[in-house]
Structure 1
């Protein structure tokens, strides 16, 4: 690690094998917290290149639990990189539950918030969800409630080691970027939110060299999801488009209307309000928009207008509330 840190401090870059080896070393608990924090800090200051990114991903694949047997369900994941500094409520996680309630299989990979008040694992735990890495229990939840939740550190030793360091740093790190790529089920359908265009292009490059059916979304004002606060890009294997909220029948929102609050309890309350169809129209619409694009990713016969309509009906009919009740029964 000393040699690698010296190389990085001299503004040199790691090759793919070096990047893989150093992250494997973290997962094997070879380095102390100060060394890991120094490594992370390098990439906060200068960013990460494609070879380093692929090397880190390779290591996480090798260190992670293999749940690819659950690919038989063809589940979708909706995930954001986080780190956009916007502190929204748990839009991606709620969108996952809407998609599941609409009848599609979802395997949500999540973690505690490192740079925001409430990550997906944070809000799940706040609602009494017990995390598991038991494949039988995960399959039962996926089978009966259409959704299972994968708490990332339970499936990867490296993520477990760096979790407390990331929390103490409290800023965006390259682990925000890696998380969406290392769902242990290796989902073949992924709706990914990114907070800048450089990251969008990096993921686009990586996904185009896989068999993953992807949709990458980015709001022009810097959100790692469809925020409805500005125009947003949607990139798939077929190309890209720039959309506005008005084109999809939504009013453009102001940023304060999708703020997640100052505490975990406030974020959890917003989450519950959306589940029970008592949220504000802004909170509900932003979830509907993200769920709509996720539904279209797995059900391409439907127009985006039909997918948005299905997402709205799922919330307003009570299907979302019923699916979430069943999920809690299976996972508490």
Structure 2
């Protein structure tokens, strides 16, 4: 009766109370609940328009249902991640930013998956760099201890999702987004203290910041970049205006940040375009040797700089960007990538 009552209420335009939303989320993970009921509530929520409390409730439940990765020493860690779904076909900006942060000594607990709407997802990219997506707990811990980096491959940590996957695929085939298109960055089983989160729509920046606040993220930023002609990206870019909202210690921030505000120049979106795994690996090499398009270099520095600010390694965004540029030019990232191979081949 829970789902039937919830469907009726939501269909009338009512938001779910936090406790009810949590119960609905748990019912979606229940194998005994009929698929048509699950589909109906997801559609009803999408048509009404999900709100921050509903997203936070779902995130809290599915994070609780996730497998504990068994990591220690992760205090102060960050995840740099996007919801995906922007269909921009860009380079792996968030993942590369996370790599640079780890190489510079910032602890990173990265959560991600293979590509869904692009040719190269975070998992595809990291696997090509030598990271074992299905590493056992001892290897995950060693990676975090020695590299300041651990990757949590989403399918390995969210067994409850198997009860929702068929419905999500069915709805995706119909071209319909659901609340699950927002949850990935919110349900990192490693529960990092800090988060730089990109989202596919500017309308979701403020609600997701509110949701993250209720999930006790210590500090973070939620961002969406408008890149012209209706295009968007789920990360900071120098190709447009960045709609940003802060979380935790940065919750005073709510507005727009341009590349100029961070001491950078605007760029064309073409500078940020990616390709398949092989193409993106070549772009990473170009980034590290300084031959990449300046717009890509600046955009990476903008994201790394924001993360340094979030983790209190920089006083503000401009200082973070300057520091990011120094890190990129120092050669530490190339050395870090060599250590990746050593750690994962032991």
Counterpart residue number, 1:258: 272
2:245 counterpart SS class: strand
Please name the residue that 1:234 is paired with: 244
1:258-283 deviation per Cα after TM superposition (whole angstroms, max 9, x unaligned)? 1223x444344434543554432222
Q: Deviations over 1:289-315 (max 9, x none)?
A: 100110111135544333222222222
**TM-score for both structures, normalised by structure 1:** 0.85
**Does residue 187 of structure 1 match 2:192?**
yes
TM-score, length-normalised on structure 2?
0.82
Question: Does 2:150 match 1:145?
Answer: no
**In 1, distance between residues paired with 2:169 and 2:344?**
25
Please state how far the C-alpha of 1:151 moved relative to its aligned partner: 0.8
Equivalent residues of 1:193, 1:217 under 8 A apart? yes
Closer/same/farther in 2, CA of residues 6 and 183 from structure 1, 3 Å limit:
closer
Displacement, 1:15?
A: 4.2
Cα separation, 1, equivalents of 2:44 and 2:141: 39
1:113-124 to structure 2, matched below 5 A, reads 113-124=115-126
Match of residue 324 from structure 1: 337
Q: CA deviation at 1:244?
A: 1.8
After TM superposition, give the deviation of residue 219 of structure 1 in Å. Answer: 2.0
CA distance in 2, matches of 1:159, 1:125: 22
Contact 1:229 1:255 in 2 (8 A): yes
Distance 1:211-1:259 versus aligned 2 partners, 3 A rule: closer
> 1:90 aligned to 2:92?
yes
Residues 66-111 of structure 1, C-alpha deviations (whole Å, 9 max, x = no match): 3475354421111112222222111000000111111211111111
Residue deviations 1:156-198, cap 9 Å, x none?
1133554576567276542231111111121111111223333
Runs (5+) with no aligned partner, structure 2: none
The correspondence for 2:299, drawn from 251, 274, 286, is: 286
On the 8 A contact 2:261/2:318 being kept in 1, the answer is no
Superposed counterparts of 1:52-91, under 5 Å: 52-67=54-69, 70=72, 72-91=74-93
Cα distance in 2 between the residues matched to 1:40 and 1:190: 26
> 1:5 offset after TM fit, Å?
8.4
Looking at structure 1, the residues matched to 77 and 144 of structure 2 have their Cα atoms a distance apart, in angstroms, of 9
Please report how far the alpha carbon of residue 115 of structure 1 lies from its aligned counterpart in structure 2 after TM superposition.
2.7
State the partner residue of 2:108. Answer: 106
Q: For the residues of structure 2 that align with 1:23 and 1:272, how far apart are their CA atoms?
A: 43
Tell me whether 89-98 or 308-317 shows the greater mean CA deviation.
Answer: 308-317
RMSD: 3.0
Residue number among 121, 131, 134 corresponding to 2:133 in the alignment: 131
CA distance in 2, matches of 1:163, 1:151: 16
Conserved 8 A contact 2:92-2:280: yes
Structure 1 residues without counterparts, runs of 5 or longer? none
The alpha-carbon distance between structure 1 residues 175 and 313, as it changes in their structure 2 partners (threshold 3 A), is: same
